[in-house]
């Protein structure tokens, strides 16, 4: 009653398609033999590594569908793996071409053990078919196109390792074309990397400044370990695993000096989150001298507590703060004196001048 159409499976990037042609010879006889709910089954055929059959119900299925031919495709794979497939069911004319009015396309369906079939209970109205030219010699030809969708495994994109490669380049000194001299230490580097990371170094190395003509740049007023951490950050975009507040303060000044924005944010955040009575005076002086507004505000808020203020005035950094940044102490006093003591505040501000 059926035959496999000689159409090869077409491998596409995301799917495998194959067509199966079902020929119903003796349409009237089969309609008389099989009652509603009874069916004839095609021979199994394979598409996309899965086995399939076509179920032909000449008097419809389920009940109350006696006026229709029902047609279903069933997933028959023994291992019961799920399969996603799209179906197109066509009645073919005398030339073997699909009849548009008798063509049904089902969206992608997931075939599983719980839902092994897909198709149409109302595939063809029998009275309409029997009055058409497509039932020839009591023979009906139906083509079933099965397209099995292949799940393409998505590649897991690894995180960027550019920082690791640049860090290795810094360690190896391969192709280094310049040297920094800092506090008696020498550090090899790559002109293009340093210039790309710092607009200040870019002006020095690639611009008309004096340093652009030489291969050695002398860095003054910076300790060697601070510059080493700064250079490491320019290549790897990372700070040392253990960044203490003292180093964070030095790096913050260095990052500000060479306009390395992300490092400034990292170091300022570190200082803002580690304010205590011993370090607040030093951090406040640093913030005032270099214009680090977030750090300054965090220090002033910390010192709004009388106990924190008393402890700060007993710390080693207080005398330096008082001598180097008297204006910020005036601002602190203006904050902590209650608003209603305006006259007292004015007297203190006048005496401080």
Task: Choose the weakest-confidence range: 69-73, 136-140, 157-161, 339-343.
Answer: 339-343
Cα 20 to Cα 42, 142, 308: the distances in Å are 9, 8, 85
Q: What does the pLDDT look like over 161-190, one tens digit per residue?
A: 999 999 999 999 999 999 999 999 999 999
Place of tokens 């399939």: 52
**Residue, of 206 and 119, whose pLDDT is higher:** 119
Q: How far apart are CA 309 and CA 328, in angstroms?
A: 14
pLDDT of 251 > 80? The answer is: yes
Per-residue pLDDT, 350: 55
The phi and psi torsions of 180 (rounded to 5 degrees) equal -100, 135
pTM over cut 0.85: no
Q: Enumerate the domain spans of the chain.
A: 10-149
Neighbours of 204 (CB within 10 A): 18
Residue closest to 87 by CA, chosen among 60, 58, 59, 123 = 123
- Whether the pLDDT of residue 3 is over 60: the answer is no
User: In the CATH scheme, what is the code of domain 10-149?
Assistant: 2.60.210.10
What is the full DSSP assignment across 263-290?
Answer: HHHHHHHHHHTT--TTTHHHHHHHHHHH
- The values of phi and psi at residue 187, to 5°, are -130, 120
Question: Where in 159-294 does DSSP place strands (E)?
Answer: 178-182, 185-189, 216-219
Q: CA 44, 47, 52, 53: dihedral to nearest 10 degrees?
A: -60
Sheet-wide strand order for 185-189: 185-189, 178-182, 216-219
- CA-wise closest residue to 260 among 240, 225, 281, 230: 230
Instruction: Quickly state the pLDDT bin for 9 (edges 50, 70, 90).
Output: very low
């Amino acid at each position: 009653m059926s035959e496999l159409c000689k159409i090869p499976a077409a491998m596409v990037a995301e799917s495998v398609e194959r067509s199966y042609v079902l020929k119903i010879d003796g349409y009237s006889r089969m309609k008389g033999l099989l009652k509603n709910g009874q069916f004839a089954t095609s021979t199994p055929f394979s598409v996309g590594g899965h086995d399939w059959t076509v179920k032909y119900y000449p008097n419809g299925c389920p009940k109350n569908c006696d006026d229709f031919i029902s047609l279903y495709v069933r997933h028959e794979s023994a291992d019961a793996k799920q399969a996603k497939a799209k179906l197109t069911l066509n009645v073919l004319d005398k030339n073997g071409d699909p009849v548009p009015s008798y063509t049904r396309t089902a969206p992608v369906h997931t075939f599983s053990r719980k839902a092994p079939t897909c198709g149409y209970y109302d595939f063809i109205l029998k009275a309409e078919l029997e009055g058409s030219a497509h039932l020839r010699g009591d023979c009906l030809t139906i083509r079933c196109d099965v397209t099995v969708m292949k799940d393409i495994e998505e590649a897991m994109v690894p995180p960027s390792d550019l920082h690791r490669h640049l860090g290795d380049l810094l360690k190896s000194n391969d192709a280094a074309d310049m040297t920094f001299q800092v506090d008696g230490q020498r550090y090899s580097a790559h002109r293009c990397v340093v210039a790309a990371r710092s607009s200040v170094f870019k002006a020095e190395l690639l611009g008309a400044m004096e340093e652009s003509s030489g291969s050695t740049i002398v860095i003054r007023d910076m300790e060697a370990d601070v510059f080493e951490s700064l250079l490491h950050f320019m290549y790897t975009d990372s700070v040392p695993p253990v960044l203490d507040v003292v180093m964070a303060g030095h790096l913050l000044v260095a990052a500000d000096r060479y306009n390395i924005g992300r490092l400034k944010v990292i170091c300022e955040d570190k200082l803002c989150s580690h304010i205590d009575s011993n370090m607040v005076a030093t951090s406040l002086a640093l913030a005032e001298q270099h214009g680090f507004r977030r750090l300054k505000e965090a220090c002033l808020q910390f010192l709004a507590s009388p106990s924190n203020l008393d402890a700060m005035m007993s710390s080693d950094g207080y005398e330096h703060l008082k001598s180097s940044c008297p204006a910020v102490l005036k601002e602190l006093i203006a904050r902590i004196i209650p608003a209603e003591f305006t006259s007292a505040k004015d007297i203190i501000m006048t005496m401080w001048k």
